[in-house]
A and B are shown apart, each in its own frame.
Chain A
Amino acid sequence: MLMKKNGAVIGLTLLTGSLLLLQGCSNKVAYQDATEVETTTIDFGSTDLQQIAAKMVDSLLTFPPIVEVTRERRPVMFVDRIKNKTTEHIDTESITDTITTRLLRSGKFRFVDMTKVADVREQLAFQNRGGMVNRNSAAQIGRQIGAEYMMYGNLSSIVKKSGDVKDVYYKFTLKVMHLESGIIEWSDEKEIRKTREKSLFGR
């Protein structure tokens, strides 16, 4: 009887011991600086996005002909999409959002948002034809400002792997076209290359 009890105790200790071990790897949450270099994985990440946006905005705002055009006025621009030609699902809208925000903040450009056209049309129709809104305060149809420039681009990548080393190369190309003349006023690219070597030990 006593023996049996002993055995049970050993078994229990073993079980609780393994449970304790498992407990040891519970999660931990901490806040980090959003602009800190992030290298959790080799995939497209926040640092890549920030580097691309910073380079593009600097390059565009310091380009002499653009400086000339934006000296006296704030031209209106619209953003076409950035084509994702990589092998990753990347939210390219997020890259253009960052770029447009920074350009707007610079006070040199103004933007029209093509993704909101349907909503705006609905609201204007409501104000002008809904019969609910005072005519004097209704925003009038047909008075929006047409964009002068179009911004568009490409994100492509080349991935290579040999043994334990993986190498990723991204190339982001951005262009600004003068809509009326069809001339590309400015273009620049940002290249990023990252490598990852498999660690020997780990979880």
Chain B
Amino acid sequence: MGLKKSMRWLVMSCMALLSGCATNSLFSPYPSQVAEIKQQIAVGDFATARKALEKKSLGPDRMLYLMERGRIAQIAGDTDASIQDFKQVLTEFEAKEEAAKISATGAAGKTGAVLLNENAIPYAGSAYERIFVHSFQALNYLWADNLEAAGVEARRANLEQQLALQANEDEVERATAQESAEETMILRQNPSYRRKFSSLTRLSSKVKNAIQNSYSFYLSGLIYEINGEYNDAYIDYKKALEIYPANHYLRQDVVRLARMLGMEEDLERFGQAEVREGMARPAKDEGKLVVLYEQGYVPEKHEVNIVVDLRGVPNNLVFPTYFDRASPNRPLVVGLSGRRLGETETIAEPAAMAARALEEQLAGMIVRQGLRAIAREQLKDNQMNSTFGILAGIGQLLLNRADLRSWLTLPAEVQLLDATVSAGKQRLTLRNGVQSKAITVDVRPGRITIVHVIAVSGQLHARTITI
């Protein structure tokens, strides 16, 4: 009797401890937390949206909340606040990277997660998210008139892509080399698990991998070009073109710089008409206009029940997945001084990259969820009356939720337009079929004018800068 009572106390104090960190996604699924914030963005109430994230950005999932907050500040056009938030996010990424392989804090989170729920592990971020943070930060620094810092972030984005690709290869090798018997068994018993995630694989098949980001390459090319480092710019434009070979703005940029730098061999892969068009040197009274169009939000993860065979017994386990039902992306029609300039073309699909990143984790997730289910069963069988048994029971009944966390204010798709136009203050019109907006741009001879357009919740947010 006494023992049971004290046990109840123990459970209750544990619950109290857990609720102490209710700033994470243990009790309220992450997408529904962000849904509220998106509503505030839709009505233009950025201050409330940022405030809602303030307390959460001190908790264990601070990296995630700070990414959202930095992006919200960017949508609102508050460059300084965005820089501060993204700076913190990058510090978090670095700290996670520097952390010891076996850490006390990490282990505490993970043991909790074996019994309870993956949402208890502090959010560690994905490589594709980190690359976007670097790229967005580079844009922020351009608006803050700090070209050198923009260059640092652009190079950093490139470096992280390279390191992440390398790490991915290492991971595959390592995983195949040291899989434990139990892990191999779980995967061997479920050979067709990929088929059960058909909408996820459909969405992820749009990109070759989750890491290579042609938007990021284009931005670093642009920043190199602004700095007069044409050779570096050429290399990055070429990398961007490799990922989206159909984007004709990228093709023109590559042709233009190949011509300028005398890379005659590289020109051979382009058609004659294209080379002629790209060859046209900007006249003395012309400048370059770049429209970066980021539209919508990346989809949120959903929870699905998937039957997984564990030791021959079918088990119903929960997993996160993406549904491929994003609204079709529309190009932005750009007009200048009443004349139609052209339509933006796709340069990155963060929605597909997010899906790809999740798909790459599928095998690991199945193994982890499988091991967890086995561990829980054992605890329940052996120690039904012990504290662990009760905790495990609570875990399974109440808290067995899939990890639905991911950066949700990222755009679903990014598109690009760049053109050489005549200098002067002009009226630029932006139409995406639903909304339209007109702004004044100041194109100066030989300079680059960037227009950053973000379309979210039925609104177009645009800002412009001439460098």
Contacts and interface: CB of A to CB of B under 8 A. Distances in A.
Interface residues of A, number: 29
Given A201-B103, A202-B100, A7 B163 contact: no
Give the secondary structure class of A's interface: mixed
A85 B5 contact: no
B5 A6 contact: yes
A11 B10 CA distance: 6
Interface in A1-54: 3-4, 6-8, 10-11, 14-15, 18, 41
A162 B166 contact: yes
B145 interface: no
Contacts of A135: none
A105 interface: no
Interface stretch (B59-67, B146-154, B340-348, B361-369): B146-154
B6 A87 contact: no
B13 A87 contact: no
A199 B151 contact: no
Interface magnitude class on chain B = 20 to 34
Contacts of A202: 99-100, 102-104
A21 B167 CA distance: 36
Contact of A11 (B12, B99, B100): B12
B9 interface: yes
Report which residue of B8, B9, B12, B170 has the largest number of chain A beta carbons within 10 angstroms of its beta carbon. B9
Given A84-B151, A202-B100, A159 B159 contact: yes
A6 B155 contact: no
B422 to A, nearest CB: 33
Give the secondary structure class of B's interface: helix
Nearest to A4: B5
B155 A87 contact: yes
Given A10-B9, A202-B99, A89 B152 contact: yes
Contacts of B105: 203
A3 B2 CA distance: 6
B56 interface: no
Contacts of A128: none
B13 A86 contact: no
A201 B2 contact: no
Interface of B: 1-2, 5-6, 8-10, 12-13, 16-17, 98-105, 148-149, 151-152, 155-156, 159, 163, 166-167, 170
Interface of A: 3-4, 6-8, 10-11, 14-15, 18, 41, 83-89, 159, 161-164, 198-203
